[in-house]
């Protein structure tokens, strides 16, 4: 193993490979900022370039740089303009955007960069040490456990169920789950709730819904009330990039916990960075002290650090099944698998034995990609954050344009734009009535996976007996119930305590 790590180190740290990773990070960051272009599409674009390089290690190093760059780029648009381009950065916008609105855009981007770096780095170390052992654990997870895991992911909605908001949060989640049932379900091969509209055959697109729920209402609110465009004393606050000692002390345990949790979720094929980010957010909110919990959703550094760490750690974790079993656990790793095969490398249990230089250089380059990303992006943050100092008369038409382009690129269909405008108007009305919109998006993202895994489990067990027959499923479902009910219980107990003291 030591020999392998050494081979990986010498390959990854050659001048040409460092240039590859720098180039990859830059390309990934800039293209990733465009809503609609997630890591998956950017890697797909870069595959021909990578294959033309010829050397599998260099090609994979370039793609790893692009991957991490794209993830950070996606977080940037979530934080600055509330436009999460990919599902895994939805949770980033919950606290990242409120921070930007308070004039702390620079700090939010720094927290995101540092958390991503830490999550990716700890993930890479875990990958280095535990990859072969974890591959067998991942196979223990069946569809029943995945179903339970999705239910745990849904418990993130509790974060938006503030006082008097529980009913609204539940209603929005159900609305999101209902939207996810529109279109053709993989398991049933029959279109549902399409009303005969051909464009709805494949269901609503995530990107359209995300833009309609987050970016569009925010842009309309900025138009309605020009005072909202003021993000504090712009220029002076954007320089305020540094994380204070107190903030560092608060986010350090979050980063530690979420690196491990995110990595473990990433290891399971199919769970991925989205679930890891929602779950990371939910767990951190639940274990935070009462005062800190109240800050979640309003610009909490912990609320930003949790999903950012978890999604990066999960991205690293998703390499475990890819490299050791040849199973791509996510869309992005599926594309990487294609790239590996094009480069004459077959991932699987033999990879570590047959091509140790590729195996270890990929792992080392992931760490290198994280490091380069941090070095490159920290100096760029003040310039990226300057986007918010552009006068609103210029900024708003551009936000609207990029929102529309995100939906167009995602589906290559102009009808999608009309759908976006319609859903955006509905979302604005819902926001006016104080309905929390994140639960709707969480419901939509998890809905399809939830139903697929539920249906598969029901078919395997010929009924709902899997819930009590599989201890891990039951345990996860109990955890979900606890995550949902614990905040409610605490509030009730606090209320009772207050009554007694009064």
Partner 1 sequence: MTLDRTIALVFLTLCLIYGYAAYFVMDAELAPFMKRNPVWPSTFPKVLAVLGIVSAFWVAITAKAGPVKEDGIDYRRLRDYKIGQAAALIGLMTAYALALFPFGFIVSTVLFITLGAFTLGERKLHIVLPVAGITAGSLWYLVQEVLGIFLRPWPFFAGL
Q: What is the binding site for partner 1 (CB under 8 A)?
A: 31, 41, 45, 164, 167-168, 170-171, 174-175, 177-178, 181, 185, 187-188, 190, 192-193, 219-221, 223-226, 228, 391-394, 396-398, 400-401, 404-405, 408-409, 412, 414, 417-418, 420-421, 424-425, 429-430, 432-435, 451, 454-455, 458-459, 462-463
Q: Which is nearer to partner 1, 45 or 341 (CB)?
A: 45
Q: Which is nearer to partner 1, 378 or 409 (CB)?
A: 409
**Nearest CA among 95, 57, 63, 58 for reference residue 79:** 95
Alpha carbons 347 and 71: distance in angstroms, whole number: 23
Shortest gap between Cβ of 295 and partner 1 (angstroms)? 18
φ, ψ dihedrals at 494, nearest 5°: -65, -40
List the end-to-end C-alpha distance of the chain, in Å, as a whole number. 65
Shortest gap between Cβ of 489 and partner 1 (angstroms)? 19
Q: Is the four-CA dihedral 335, 336, 338, 339 of positive or negative sign?
A: positive
Shortest gap between Cβ of 316 and partner 1 (angstroms)? 27
* Residues constituting the chain: 502
Residue 7, Cα to own-chain centre: how many angstroms? 32
3-state secondary structure 290-323: HHHHHHCCCCCHHHHHHHHHHHHHHHHHCHHHHH
**Nearest CA among 152, 418, 415 for reference residue 268:** 152
Q: Which is nearer to partner 1, 119 or 217 (CB)?
A: 217
Shortest gap between Cβ of 244 and partner 1 (angstroms)? 27
Q: Which is nearer to partner 1, 412 or 501 (CB)?
A: 412
The Cα angle at residue 267 between residues 256 and 110, in degrees rounded to 5: 40
Alpha carbons 69 and 4: distance in angstroms, whole number: 26
Shortest gap between Cβ of 475 and partner 1 (angstroms)? 23
- Residue 148 in contact with residue 480, Cβ under 8 Å? yes
405-416 per-residue burial string, b: 16 or more CB within 10 A, e: under 16: bbbbbbbeeeeb
Q: Which residue has the tokens 């199973």?
A: 327
Q: Which is nearer to partner 1, 233 or 462 (CB)?
A: 462
3-state secondary structure 455-472: HHHHHHHCCCCHHHHCHH
Q: Which is nearer to partner 1, 391 or 471 (CB)?
A: 391
- Residue 173 in contact with residue 154, Cβ under 8 Å? yes
Shortest gap between Cβ of 393 and partner 1 (angstroms)? 4
- Residue 80 in contact with residue 112, Cβ under 8 Å? no
The token pair at 264 is 């473990």
Q: Which is nearer to partner 1, 329 or 438 (CB)?
A: 438
φ, ψ dihedrals at 85, nearest 5°: -80, -25
Shortest gap between Cβ of 149 and partner 1 (angstroms)? 17
Shortest gap between Cβ of 9 and partner 1 (angstroms)? 34
Q: Which is nearer to partner 1, 11 or 428 (CB)?
A: 428
For residue 114, how many other CB atoms are within 10 A of its CB? 19
Shortest gap between Cβ of 298 and partner 1 (angstroms)? 13
Q: Which is nearer to partner 1, 307 or 406 (CB)?
A: 406
Q: Which is nearer to partner 1, 228 or 494 (CB)?
A: 228
Alpha carbons 396 and 223: distance in angstroms, whole number: 8
Between the alpha carbon of residue 53 and those of residues 12, 30, 132, 343, 437, the distances in Å are 15, 22, 29, 9, 45
Q: Which is nearer to partner 1, 111 or 339 (CB)?
A: 339
Q: Which is nearer to partner 1, 185 or 479 (CB)?
A: 185
Shortest gap between Cβ of 289 and partner 1 (angstroms)? 27
Shortest gap between Cβ of 35 and partner 1 (angstroms)? 12
Alpha carbons 276 and 310: distance in angstroms, whole number: 6
Between the alpha carbon of residue 293 and those of residues 69, 124, 200, 284, the distances in Å are 31, 30, 39, 9
Shortest gap between Cβ of 459 and partner 1 (angstroms)? 6
**Nearest CA among 370, 352, 368, 349 for reference residue 360:** 352
């Amino acid at each position: 193993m030591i020999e392998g790590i050494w081979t990986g180190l010498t390959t990854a740290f050659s001048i040409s490979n460092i240039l590859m990773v720098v180039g990859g990070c830059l390309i990934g960051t800039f293209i990733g900022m465009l809503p609609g272009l997630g890591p998956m599409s950017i890697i797909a674009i870069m595959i021909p370039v990578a294959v033309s390089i010829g050397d599998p290690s260099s090609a994979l190093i370039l793609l790893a740089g692009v991957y991490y760059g794209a993830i950070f780029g996606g977080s940037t648009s979530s934080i600055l303009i509330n436009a999460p381009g990919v599902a895994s950065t939805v949770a980033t916008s919950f606290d990242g955007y409120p921070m930007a609105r308070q004039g702390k855009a620079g700090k939010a981007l720094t927290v995101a960069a540092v958390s991503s770096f830490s999550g990716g780095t700890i993930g890479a170390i875990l990958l280095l040490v535990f990859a072969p052992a974890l591959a067998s654990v991942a196979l223990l997870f069946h569809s029943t456990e995945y179903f339970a895991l999705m239910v745990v992911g849904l418990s993130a909605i509790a974060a938006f169920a503030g006082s008097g908001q529980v009913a609204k949060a539940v209603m929005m989640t159900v609305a999101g789950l209902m939207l996810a049932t529109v279109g053709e379900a993989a398991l049933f091969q029959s279109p549902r709730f399409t009303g005969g509209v051909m464009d709805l055959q494949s269901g609503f697109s995530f990107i359209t819904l995300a833009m309609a729920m987050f970016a569009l209402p925010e842009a309309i609110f900025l138009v309605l009330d020009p005072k909202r465009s003021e993000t504090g004393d712009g220029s002076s606050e954007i320089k305020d990039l540094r994380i204070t000692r107190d903030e560092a002390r608060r986010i350090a345990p979050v980063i530690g916990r979420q690196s491990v949790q995110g990595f473990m979720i990433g290891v399971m094929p199919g769970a991925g960075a989205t679930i890891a980010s929602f779950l990371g957010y939910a767990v951190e909110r639940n274990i935070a002290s009462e005062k800190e919990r109240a800050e979640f959703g309003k610009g909490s550094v912990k609320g930003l650090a949790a999903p950012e760490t978890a999604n990066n750690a999960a991205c690293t974790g998703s390499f475990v099944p890819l490299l050791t079993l040849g199973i791509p656990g996510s869309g992005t790793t599926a594309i990487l698998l294609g790239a590996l095969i094009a480069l004459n490398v077959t991932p699987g249990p033999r990879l570590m034995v047959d091509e140790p230089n590729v195996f270890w250089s990929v792992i080392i380059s992931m760490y290198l990609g994280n490091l380069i990303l941090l070095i490159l992006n920290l100096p760029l943050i003040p310039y990226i954050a300057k986007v918010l100092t552009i006068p609103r008369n210029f900024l708003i038409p551009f936000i609207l344009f990029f929102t529309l382009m995100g939906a167009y690129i995602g589906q290559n269909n102009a009808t999608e734009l009309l759908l976006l405008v319609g859903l955006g108007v509905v979302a604005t009305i819902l926001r006016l009535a104080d309905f929390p919109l994140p639960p709707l998006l969480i419901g939509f993202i998890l809905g399809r996976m939830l139903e697929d895994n539920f249906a598969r489990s029901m078919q395997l067990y010929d009924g709902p007996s899997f819930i009590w027959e599989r201890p891990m499923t039951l345990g996860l479902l109990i955890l979900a119930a606890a995550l949902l009910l614990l905040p409610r219980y605490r509030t009730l107990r606090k209320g009772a305590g207050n009554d007694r003291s009064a």
